[in-house]
Structure 1
């Protein structure tokens, strides 16, 4: 509950401004411009690699991330200073991008090859991407593959979660004996145990999947990427 530090304050302001702009201009248009898209999608632009870190999918998403940024970021910035904190923050965000897109680039070509081998052409897939539906008979396995490929191709990644996971890991390394609690499980657990549990949950969920939160799917591998980079730094 320390006084907010300067860099954290400015990051909070930028995130809030981007959220308000999203509400005023329109989510669809703003997401097309600034959310991170799969690079093979025609809507992808290079600046999205950074701008998506300041985008959020709803007020609860924004509130949760900004609360975590204020709580852990202030403590970490006080220890590291503004310049090192910014390096940590953006490097963790880039790590999140590398991990999530890395997983997508493993899965997407595999799905395309499997679909082509079963008789679904690239042209048919492109038509599905445009219209969101297909007008030819498919097997249950093909349906599952088409849906997965469609979700990757049209996915949008938003949020500061990858950056904050890096900050959270840094907080745990700097303050290993600080006691943390989940709001819905008010049992104090030392950071050196609590944070690995959170990262472990993301790894398991990345393999198995998990329900959406705040009406949004969670990019678990992005969280893992941010945490790994935070650990390295």
Structure 2
């Protein structure tokens, strides 16, 4: 299921414009019906131009290397990467579970103990080794335990799909990775300043960024906290902000949680939500509850976030 970039209508079989990269319903699939930027490139006063569908058939050698690369990276319907369009939430969830398997099954199977130096070097972003740049990303998908993983997965599963539908798969992916990396760096930076060697791992920074975006775009969205307590999402956000602020100030309500990373992710989400608010049609089409509720966040263990 995808959303038309022009009218916001959900489409089971959307059209992908190869000129502007947008996704459209049948009514807006033609370039002249969605104000395609390609019209200016073609300088066609009538607003109609050849789609170029069979250009490569007429002249197979006419494609440039950039055009061939664009075809390989095409995320439109039928493109090689078409699955990822509208499914980045599930891609990230899959990476989280795969990484968890590497942490607690594959590494120990090959004689690498959990929490060993090599294990930490692979999965934990640490103030001791800020030069381990790969951990800036791997720490997003790694978790301190099964409960930590499941709590973050529940939040990302329910809320991530809605944010991805609002902003699109590409921007959602950038938001998820960007907020996760920046949240980890924020926690690492505070650790360096405070001479605290504790590392951090987990997707809570990205999850709180998602929560922040939804709070701005749809503040009255009803969430069933712990699956049976109905609250508006803005109240949930305020609660997490209060817990994280108190923890960052030295009054940890939830010990063992990377509060600075939580705050960084939440702030990024709120700022990004304000940035896209004017161009996103955040219709209240989905409420979480009645068996489809959101849960709490946070985790225990090695500085999870």
Normalising by structure 1, we get a TM-score of: 0.71
C-alpha separation in 1, matches of 2:204 and 2:136:
14
C-alpha separation in 1, matches of 2:224 and 2:160:
17
C-alpha separation in 1, matches of 2:174 and 2:259:
22
Matched with 1:70 is 157
Alpha-carbon offset, residue 156 of structure 1? 1.9
Native 8 Å contact 1:91 1:229 kept in 2: no
RMSD between aligned alpha carbons? Answer: 2.0
Matched with 2:258 is 219
Among 117, 123, 130, the alignment partner of 1:34 is 123
Query: C-alpha deviations, 1:181-201, integer Å up to 9, x for none?
Result: 3218x4322122321221121
3-state SS of paired residue (1:99): helix
C-alpha separation in 2, matches of 1:206 and 1:42:
22
Alpha-carbon offset, residue 95 of structure 1? 2.6
Among 93, 101, 104, the alignment partner of 1:20 is 101
Alpha-carbon offset, residue 42 of structure 1? 5.0
- Structure of greater Rg: 2
Among 141, 158, 180, the alignment partner of 2:201 is 158
Matched with 2:170 is 83
Gaps of 5+ in 2: 1-85, 109-113, 273-305
Does residue 168 of structure 1 match 2:257?
A: no
Runs of 4+ in 1 over 3 A off after TM superposition: none
Alpha-carbon offset, residue 43 of structure 1? 8.3
C-alpha separation in 2, matches of 1:183 and 1:222:
23
C-alpha separation in 1, matches of 2:141 and 2:249:
26
C-alpha separation in 2, matches of 1:30 and 1:228:
30
C-alpha separation in 2, matches of 1:212 and 1:168:
19
Alpha-carbon offset, residue 91 of structure 1? 1.9
175-184 or 76-85, which deviates more: 175-184
C-alpha separation in 2, matches of 1:188 and 1:203:
24
Question: Mapping of 1:24-173 within 5 angstroms?
Answer: 24=105, 25-26=107-108, 27-28=114-115, 29-38=118-127, 41=128, 45-108=132-195, 152-153=196-197, 155-173=198-216
Alpha-carbon offset, residue 92 of structure 1? 1.3
Greater RCO, CA 8 A, separation 6+: 1
Matched with 1:197 is 239
Cα gap change, 1:58/1:169 in structure 2, threshold over 3 Å: closer, same or farther?
same
- State how many pairs are aligned: 179
C-alpha separation in 1, matches of 2:237 and 2:225:
11
Matched with 1:146 is none
Native 8 Å contact 2:243 2:254 kept in 1: no
